[in-house]
Structure 1
Amino acid sequence: MCRCDRRTIMHLFLLLILQATAAFGQIDPAHCRSALGMGDKRIKDEAITASSQWYETTGPQYARLNLEEGDGAWCPKGQLEPSDSQYLQVDLGSLTFLTVVGTQGRYARNSGNEFARAYRLNYSSDGGLWKSWRDRLGNTVIEGNKDAYTSVIKDIHPPIITRYIRLMPVTKPFTTVCMRVELYGCLWDDGLISYSAPEGQPMTQPGYPFASFNDSTYDGVHEKRKLSGGLGQLTDGVIGLDDFLLTRQYNVWPGYDYLGWRNDSLGSQGYVEMEFVFDKQRNFTSMKVHSNNMFSRGVKIFSSVSCWFKPRLIAAWEPEPVTFVTVLDDRNPSARYVTVPLNRRTAKSIRCRFVFADVWMMFSEVSFQSVDTIVPTLLVPSPAANEETTGTTSLKTTVSPSPSGPPEDVSTPILIGCLVTIILLLVVIIFLILWCQCVCKVLEKAPRRILDEDVTVRLSSCSDTIILQTPPVPPRSGHTPGPVNTDPHYERVFLLDPQYQNPAVLRNKLPELSQSAEASACGGGYAEPDITQCTPHQCFHSNAPHYAETDIVRLQGVTGSNMYAVPALTVDSLTRKDISAAEFPRQQLIFREKLGEGQFGEVHLCEAEGLTEFLGEGSPLPESDGHSVLVAVKQLRADATSQARNDFLKEIKIMSRLNGPNIIRLLCVCVSSDPLCMVTEYMENGDLNMFLSQREIESTLTHANNIPSVSLSDLLHMSVQIASGMKYLASLNFVHRDLATRNCLLDRRLTIKIADFGMSRNLYSSDYYRIQGRAVLPIRWMAWESILLGKFTTASDVWAFGVTLWEIFTLCKEQPYSLLSDEQVIENTGEFFRNQGRQIFLYSPPLCPPSLFELMMRCWRRDIPDRPTFEGLYQALRPQVNSEQRPPGCRLGRGFP
C-alpha cells in the first residue's frame, strides 16, 4: 500500500488547482459579449453622465439602446462642430473587458431623425487619466449610424479594459446629434490595470519575411525603449499561433500577435523584467503566460521565472520571491500556456523576471488568477526539503516561517476533503460529457426544426458590424407579453412571428402563393415543372423546410454536385444518342484525389492523359506541352437506382449545352460502360474561396514582405467575370441554385469559371444546412423565397450573387451571417418575408466601395421584381474596373502559385 505524506497531498491539491485555472483562466473575447446593462437599466441613471444636454428630456439617462424614454435619446446641446468634444460617459462600476459597442439615433416614435454618423471612444480605469481608443491600424474614428432607428453593432478591435467609457460623436458638417447606446463585454477578473516591459524587437532572418514583435496596441507610455503604465496585446485575449509568423488578425504584419525579445539585445542580464499593477490588493494563486516554443527558429518558453511582491504601491518589494523552473520541451514546437504558482502571496504589484532559454522569448498573453479576500500567505514546506517534479514543470517555492507552530496537522483534513470534492466533481463532469455525447448522437438523427420559441442571437461574431433593424412595433391586441429575457449573455434581435410556424397563414399573405398560383409556385419554383410537382402540404411541411427526399436528390444531384435547374426537359427517353460529348478512353483517366460525394455518385480529381490531343482544335484546355491535364470526373456508383442513372444522363445533357467563357465545360464522357462518368474542366488555382482566404489586400506591406495579395481592381475584375458567367446562364433560362465563391474556379491566368460541385466537398460541408443527415441547402446564400417556398429562379441566383460579392470583398475570411446559427438564418428569412424592418443584413465590407454595397443591397430586396437582372449587374460592374490596369492574370504574380 502506498503511503502519501502531508506534503504530497498538498502538492497534488495545488497541481489540480493549477490545471483547472490553466484550462479556464484566460478570457475569450468571442464569448465575452454580454450586454452590460444600458438597455435593461442594470446601469443606473446616476452612472450615466454627459458633457451637456439640450433639454432635461434629452439628458444622458435617456441614452439607452432600444428604449424611447424622455424625448428618445441623449442629445448634446447645440449643433456640433467638427472640433467639438461633447461626450456621453458611462461608469460600469468595476473594471470591464469591453468588446462591443451598439449605437442608435433618436427615433422618438417617428418624430426624431438625429443620429451620430461616427464617434470616438475615450476610456479610463480610475476616472482621472483618460486614453483614446484606436484600432489595430491606428484609426480612432468608428463608423456610426446612417439613420435614426437602426442599431449598429461594432466590435472593438482591440477590446478595452476600463471602468469608465466616453462616447464622443464625430461630425463633419454642423449638425444636431443624438445617441442611444449599449455596451457589451464581461467582468475583468484579473484586476490588472497596467504592465511594464521592454519594448519588443524586430526579427530579420535570411529566407524569412521581416517580423516585428512590438506591442502595437499598447496604450501607455513609450519611453527609452520601455513600455510603462498601460495595457496592450498581452491582455487582448488573442492567443498567438504555433508559427509566430502567422497571425489571427488580417492586414497586419508577421509576428503581430506576439511581444518578443532577443536575448543579446537586452545586454548581459539574460532575462526580461516585467511589472504588473492591479486595481487593489489581491491574494494571487497563479500566473498564466502564453509563450511561443518554435525551437527550430531559436524561440523557447522561459527557463525560469522569479516574482517579487509589493503589498502597496508605496511599499518596498518583499525580499523573498517565488521561483518557478520549467522543464524545457524540445520535441513539441506548439505554443502553450505556462502556469506559474504564486502561492497565494498578497500584493498590489508584482515584478517578474523571465529567464531566456534560447535566442528569443515571445509572449502573446499574460493573465492572473487571484481571490479578493486578503488572507495570510499559504505556508508550504521549505525549499530544501521539498522540490517536486511533475510532468513538464518543476516547482520550487519560497516560504515564510509560521508564528504559531506547524500548520499541517490543522490543514490536512481540509485539504483531503477538498481533494475528494474535486475528484467527485471530475467524475460528475465526465459522466455529463458522456451523457451529452449520447444525447447529441440521438439528436443528430432527427431532422432539424425551426425553433418554436422567441429567437435570440448571441453576439459572438468576429465581424466588425451587424445591422439590426429595430423600429418600435406595438404589441398585438390581446397579446400578453412573455417574460423578458434577462440573460445578460444574449441580446434579443427579433421575435419569431406565429405565422412563420403556420404555413397556411404564410401562404395567404403572399400573392404568389394564392390558390391560383399554387401550381406555379410548386412546379415552377425550381424552374422544372416536370420534376417538382407537389401539393401545398408537400410545399409547406410543418415546422421544417418542406423539401421532400425526391426534391433533395434533384437539388443536390446524384454525385453530390449541384444540378442546374432548366426549363422543362424530357428525361424519360434519355439515351447515349442524346449526348453530344465524345467518348474518352476510360483507362487514360488517372485517379488523384476524391473531391466529394453524393447519394449515388462521387467527384474525383483525375489526370487525363492525351486529352488535349483527343479534343483537337477548339479545345477549351490550355496548351499542355504533352503533359496530362487535371480534370474533375463525376462518376455514378454501381448501386445507383435507375432514376439516378436517368438523372445523371440528364445532367450530362444539360452540361453539354453550356459553352460560355466563364462556365465550366463538359469535355467528354465515359458512358459506353459502367460506371457512367462525365469529365469536366478543373482549374489549376482551385476555387475562389480558398484562393482569396489565403491572400491580403494589396499594400506596401504586402509588397515589402512578399505576402500573396490582391488589389481592389482584381476583386472588381473577378466580380465582372462571375456576372458575365451568370448572365450567360440566365440567357439560357438556366438557374444555378448554388452560386458562391466555392463554386467559382480559377485557372493559371486567373480566369474565373463557374462550377457546380462545391456542394459535394467535405471542406464546405458547414456551408450547407442538413436535412435528413445530409448537407443539402446553402441557406446562407439562398433568397427567402427559395428557403420558404422552394422557389429557385434567376432572381434567387441574383440574391446569391450579392452574397458572393460580399464574400469576395471580405476576402472570404468569414462565412456569411457568421453571427447566426443555421436555424437563426432561417428565422431571419422569415423576417425578410414579413418585411417589418427587423431583418438582419450582411454588413458592408471595409474594402467594398459604397456604390458596390448598394448594388449588393439591391440584390437582397424582398420583392423579386425589384432585384436587378444579371445583364444589369454586368453593365453596372464593368465600368468600375479600371480599364488602364492590366488584367489580373498578368500582374498577380507576387506570391501566387
Structure 2
Amino acid sequence: MFFRLLLFALVTEKFCAEVNPVMCRYPLGMHDGTIRDDDITASSQWYESTGPQYARLQREEGDGAWCPAGLLQPQDVQFLQIDLHRLFFITLIGTQGRHARATGKEFARAYRIDYSRNGERWLTWKDHQGKQVIQGNVDAYDIALKDLRPPIIARYVRVIPVTELPMTVCMRVELYGCIWADGLSSYNIPDGETIAAPGYPIVYLNDSTYDGFVEKRYLYGGLGQLTDGILGLDDFTQSHQYQVWPGYDYVGWRNESTGTGYIEMEFQFDQPRNFTTMKVHCNNMFSKGVKIFQRVECQFKPRLISEWEPESVGVDTVLDDKNPSARFVTIPLNQRVGKAILCHFIFADNWMMISEISFQSEMDMVNPTVITLPPTKAETTQMLPNHTTERETDTTSPFTISRPVEKIDESSTSILIGCLVAIILLLLLIIQLILWKQYIQKRLKKSPRRILEEDASAHLSFYSYSIANNQTQIIQSNPTYERVFPLDLEYQEPTMPPRKLPELSQSAEDSACSGDYAEPDLTQSTPHQGFQNNVPHYAETDIVNLQGVTGNNMYAVPALTIDSLNKKDITVAEFPRQQLQLKEKLGEGQFGEVHLCEAEGLQLFLELPSSDVSGPPALVAVKMLRSNVTKAARNDFLKEIKIMSRLADPNIIRLLGVCILDDPLCMITEYMENGDLNQFLSQREMHSQFTLANNIPSVSCKNLLHMSTQIASGMRYLASLNFVHRDLASRNCLVGNNFTIKIADFGMSRNLYSGDYYRIQGRAVLPIRWMAWESILLGKFTTASDVWAFGVTLWEMFTLCKEQPYSLLPDEQVIENTGEFFRNQGRQIYLPQPPPCPNPLFHLMLKCWNRDIKDRPNFESIHHFLVEQLNSSV
C-alpha cells in the first residue's frame, strides 16, 4: 500500500496541473491520522489530555478535543496550528466540539483562520465581503462544514476560536482540499482598473483576493483571483459569486493606461520546472472593447538570482470578432525550463480581462524535487462530496485551476534529511517494482487471467453526506469500484478486476464480452477455432502487440496474421540510407525516434509514373530503432514492418521503404504536407465572411465532414482486418493537400502531445480521454473501443482542436467518470456539443459513446452515414 501511495505521489507531482475546486474536497488527514501528532501544535492546552493531538474530527481520544488553557476571553488569540508539510488548495473546513462520550459540552461558536505558505508571513482569511469570522458549532457533537470562498493556498493553517463572552472552548477539526500541484507560488502584476460609464454600474476589475503586497498599484509576492479556480462569465459584469460587485471574477487593464501596449506579469514557482503550456482564461466581449490578447511573449529564468534568458517564446493568437464568449487561450511553452516566467500580454483592443491562469509543467529532472512524504491516505481513498448552503449553490459554473506542490524547507538540514529519505524510498520502490514484474511475469505464464489485487488496483472510497435539520452528517462508504492499471509499459495484458465490479447487469456483461465486433480479449488465450472470411477473430486467437519506438504498441494484431506473415516471403525494398536527409525530430520514445526527413529520388525508387530524378525531395517520416535495444524490440520492429507492408488503403499511412541492412533499423512511411490534424485545425477558425475578408486560415463544416469520412474509411479498412488501433485521435491523423487524411500511429512519441496521455511512472501510458470505459476499467480493446475514440476524434475536429477532451477534468476525474458509465445510473459526463457541430453529427458521437458495446455503430455504418451527410451538405 505504501509503495502505491508513493507512486501516486510521483504521478501527481509530475503530471497533474489542473484541479477542480468543486471536486477538490479530500479530507487531508486529521481524522485518519495521516497528519501526524507532532504536526499539530497549539498556543496552549488545558490539560495534557486536551492537547492539540486530540483535535481530530470524529475521534474521541484523550478527553475528546483540543481545549486552550483557561477561559477564553474576547481579546485572546489561542490557536490550533496544523503543518501540512506542503502547499495545499484548501476549500472546506469541518469543526466539532468536545463530546467525550456524552461527558463534554464545550464547542466554538465562531472562529477565524490564519494561514501561511512559508511559516513566516501569516495572513487572515476573509470571505468575499471581507468578513473574517466563521460561524462554528451549535452543539458539542455535530459537524459544521463551511466552504472557504475564496479557497486557501497554504502549508500552515491556524484555527483560532472567537468568543464574545468569557467561556471554555474546545475544538476538533478537519481540513479538506487537494495538493497544489503545478508549483506556482506567487505572481506579480499591475493592479486591475475600474470601468465607469454614465448610466452603467461601476465595474471593479481589481484582484480583490490577492494575499501578497501592494505598492503603488503593483501587486507582488502573493496569489489571488487568477488562481482561485473561478472562470469568469461571458459578460464580465456578471459573476458566479453571491453578493459581489460587477467585474469581480476578472482582473482587467486598459490599454491607454499602460503606456506600453502590454501587461507584464511575472510568475514564480517552487522550483525549476519543464513547462509545456500556459492556459489563460480571457474575456472577449468585443462589443465593449474587450478582446483576448493578440500576442504573448515569455522569458524564462532558471533561478531567481539569475538573469532572464534572452531567448523568449512568442505566440500570436487568432482574434475573434464574431463569438463574444470567454475562452481559454493555450500558449505552448516548448518544454522550456525555468523557476520564474516573465510574460508580456499585448493588447488587441481597449481592454484586456483575465480570470484564470494555469501552467502545465513537469518538475525539472536535472534538479528534481525531494518528495519527503507520500500523499495522504485520505487523498487517494476518500473524497467529500460538494457541500454548499442553499445560497451558495452553483451547479452551472465551470471551474479549473492549476496548482500545488511541496515547498521544500529552507533549512539545509531538512533538505539533507529529505534527500536521504527520498533516495531510500526510491530505491525501495525500484526494488519493489522489479520484484513485482518478475513475479507477475511468472504468474502470467501460468495463468494470464489472474492478477494480484495489491499490484493492479487502486481502491476508491468516498464520503457520502446527508443534511438533516441543517446539520451535515458524514458517513464513509465502501469503495464503489476499483481502478485497474496495466502492469506493463504497453497497453497490453489488460486484466479483469480483482473482484467483480458492482451493479453489472447481465446484459451489460454480455455487451462487454460479446457483440458484432471482432474483440481482442487480451485476458484470454483460447485455441484457434476457425475463421470468418479467412480473417481470424481476435477472440479466437492469441494477440501479438507490436512495440513501436515509443515502447507502446499502436495496433493489436491477431497472432495468426503474424504466423502467416512469417511463412510468406514478404520483402520491402531497401532504401539507400544516404539519400535520407534529417530535417526535424518529430518525437522519441523508449526504443527509438521519429524524424521528418527528405528522401531524394523517392519517386524513382517507388517506380511511380512520371518519375523525375531531378524533382524535389519528398517529405517522409522515418522511425529509427536505437541500436542498443533488446532482441525482442528488434523482432517487434521487424514484425511491424511486415504488418505495415500489408496495409494498403488510401487513408492509412503507407510503408514506403526500409533501411535494415545495418543499424539503426529504419522504416520509412508517408508524411503529409500539412502535418497532423490537431495542429492543422488548431491554427484555423470556422469559415465565415470575417475570416474570408481578413484572410484568416479557416475550414468549413463540409471540410470537416470530408476529413471525418476519410478517417472512418481508414478505420473501416483496419476493422476489416481485425486490427485495433487503440490510439485513434486527431494527433494520429495526417493532413495532405485538399484536406486529404491518412491515419498514422506515432502521435504518442511526440512531446507536444505528452499531456494527452495518463502516465504512471514506470507503468502504463494511456490516452484515457479518448478511451472507452471498458478499456479503462476492464482492459478490453476492441473495434468498438476504436469507435468510441472515433467519436472523441470527431468532437475534437468540430472544436477545431482548441481544447482537450474533458479539459475541465483532471485525469483522476476522467477515470472516475468511466465508473459512472459502468454503473449507468445517469451520472456520467458526456462531452458537450461543439457550437459548429450539426445535430446529426453530435447524435453520431453520442452513439459512439454508447455504454453498451453492441449498441455502438460499426465503422461500415459510420462511413455510410458520413458519406450521406457529405453528399447532402451544401
Taking structure 2 as the reference length, the TM-score comes to: 0.48
Kindly name which structure, 1 or 2, has the bigger radius of gyration based on alpha carbons: 1
Bigger relative contact order, structure 1 or 2 (CA pairs below 8 A, ≥6 apart) = 2
